[in-house]
C-alpha cells in the first residue's frame, strides 16, 4: 500500500507517554486513527491530553518486552519476543538507530523492531538485525550499511559532520544574548534563561565529568530523565559562548554553562513547535517525561518504511 492511499489504519497506542508515537504517525503522513492510548503515568496523560484533546486510558496491564535502551541480542526476553512473533507468522526486522543518522545532532541509539504478518513482507527483505544508515536508505538500494559497516572507523564521524548544528535547535535570540554578555565578562543573570545556568559549585565539583557542547557543535549526548537534577551522565550542557573562543578561556566558569531547556530537548526529539506542557507540570517533571520519550524524527522514518507498499 502506498502512503498516499486512503486506507485508514486503526491504531492502539501503548505506553503513549507525551505523544511521541502519535506525532510520529502524523509526521510520517500515515492515515491513522488512534482508537485508544494507554499509559499509567498520570502526568504524562495530562501532557497527552493537553496536546491531543484525548486522555489515555490509565488502567493498563501490559509491560514492555524490552527496556528503552540499546538492544541486547543475547537476552532471553529478546529471544522470546522474536520467537513468539515468528510462531504467529510475523516477518520481523530489527534496527538500532540514532537521530544522528537522520541529520539531528543528538546521540540517542535505540532498539526498534518492526513486524508484519505474513503474507505481507518488507520492501527490503534482505535487511536484518542492525541498520546504520540515514533514514531514506531504508527503502532505497543505495548506501545500506550493515552492522559490521557501522563499526568501521570514520562512519560516525561522517554522520556527525552531516548533522545540523545544535544552534538550529536553540532559541537563537537567547543564545546570541548569552554570547554577547559573556564577551563583556558578565554572567547573564538577567537573562530569562537564568534558571537553567549551572551553579558555580557544580561546575567546580563535576566540571571534569561534564559533556560540554557549543552552539556550532553537531552532536550532543542523550538526555535522561534525571537531567537538570544531576549533571554527570544525564546529558550535555551548553556553553553559551562561541566555540571559536573556547581556546582563549582559562576556566569552565567562563563558558556560562547552562542546561538545555525542555523546549530545546523537545526540538532535538523532533517534537513539533506546537507541542506544549500544561502549566502545572514542573520543570523536573518535563525533563523526566522527555527523557523517557522517543525520537519523533527516527520513528516517523520507520513508520514510512513500515507502511510503504507491502509485497505479497
The residues annotated as belonging to the active site are 60
| Angstrom distance (rounded) from CA 214 to CA 116 | 42
Residue bearing cell 536484518: 128
Q: What is the per-residue DSSP string for 225-290?
A: TTBTTB-SSS--EEE-S-GGGGGG---GGGG-EEEPPHHHHHHHTT--TT----TTS-HHHHHHHH
Contact status, residue 149 vs residue 208, Cβ threshold 8 Å: no
- Name which of 52, 54, 44, 46 is nearest 26 in CA terms: 52
Contact status, residue 213 vs residue 238, Cβ threshold 8 Å: yes
Residue bearing cell 520507520: 302
What's the grid cell of residue 232? 554527570
| Angstrom distance (rounded) from CA 295 to CA 305 | 16
The Cβ of residue 141 has, within 10 Å, a number of other Cβ atoms equal to: 7
| Angstrom distance (rounded) from CA 301 to CA 172 | 27
Residue bearing cell 489504519: 9
* Max CA pair span of the chain: 67
Q: What is the per-residue DSSP string for 98-131?
A: -GGGGT-SB---EEEEEEEETT-B-TTTT--S--
* Residue partners of 199: CB distance under 8 A and separation at least 6: none
| Angstrom distance (rounded) from CA 145 to CA 142 | 9
Amino acid at each position: 500500500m502506498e502512503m498516499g492511499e486512503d486506507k485508514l489504519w486503526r491504531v492502539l497506542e501503548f505506553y503513549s507517554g507525551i505523544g511521541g508515537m502519535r506525532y510520529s504517525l502524523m509526521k510520517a503522513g500515515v492515515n491513522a486513527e488512534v482508537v485508544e492510548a494507554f499509559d499509567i503515568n498520570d502526568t504524562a496523560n495530562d501532557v497527552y491530553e493537553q496536546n491531543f484533546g484525548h486522555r489515555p486510558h490509565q488502567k493498563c496491564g501490559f509491560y514492555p518486552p524490552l527496556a528503552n535502551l540499546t538492544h541486547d541480542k543475547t537476552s532471553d526476553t529478546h529471544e522470546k519476543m522474536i520467537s513468539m512473533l515468528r510462531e504467529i507468522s510475523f516477518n520481523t526486522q530489527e534496527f538500532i538507530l540514532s537521530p544522528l543518522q537522520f541529520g539531528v545532532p543528538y546521540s540517542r541509539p535505540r532498539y526498534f523492531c518492526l513486524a508484519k504478518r505474513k503474507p505481507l513482507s518488507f520492501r527490503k527483505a534482505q535487511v536484518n538485525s542492525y541498520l546504520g544508515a540515514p533514514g531514506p536508505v531504508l527503502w532505497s538500494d543505495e548506501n545500506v550499511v550493515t552492522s559490521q559497516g557501522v563499526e568501521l572507523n570514520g562512519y560516525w564521524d561522517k554522520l556527525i559532520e552531516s548533522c545540523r548544528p545544535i544552534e538550529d535547535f536553540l532559541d537563537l535570540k537567547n543564545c546570541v544574548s548569552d554570547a554577547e554578555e559573556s564577551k563583556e565578562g558578565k554572567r547573564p543573570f538577567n537573562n530569562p534563561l537564568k534558571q537553567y545556568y549551572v551553579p558555580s559549585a557544580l561546575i567546580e565539583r563535576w566540571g571534569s565529568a561534564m559533556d560540554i557542547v557549543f552552539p556550532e557543535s553537531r552532536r550532543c549526548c542523550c538526555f535522561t530523565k534525571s537531567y537538570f537534577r544531576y549533571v554527570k551522565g544525564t546529558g550535555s550542557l551548553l556553553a553559551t559562548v562561541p566555540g571559536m573562543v573556547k581556546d582563549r578561556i582559562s576556566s569552565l566558569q567562563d563558558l556560562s554553562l547552562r542546561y538545555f531547556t525542555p523546549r530545546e530537548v523537545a526540538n532535538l526529539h523532533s517534537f513539533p513547535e506546537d507541542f506544549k506542557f500544561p502549566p502545572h507540570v514542573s520543570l523536573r517533571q518535563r525533563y523526566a517525561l522527555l527523557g523517557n520519550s522517543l525520537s519523533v524524527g527516527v520513528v516517523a522514518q520507520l513508520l514510512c518504511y513500515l507502511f510503504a507498499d507491502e509485497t505479497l
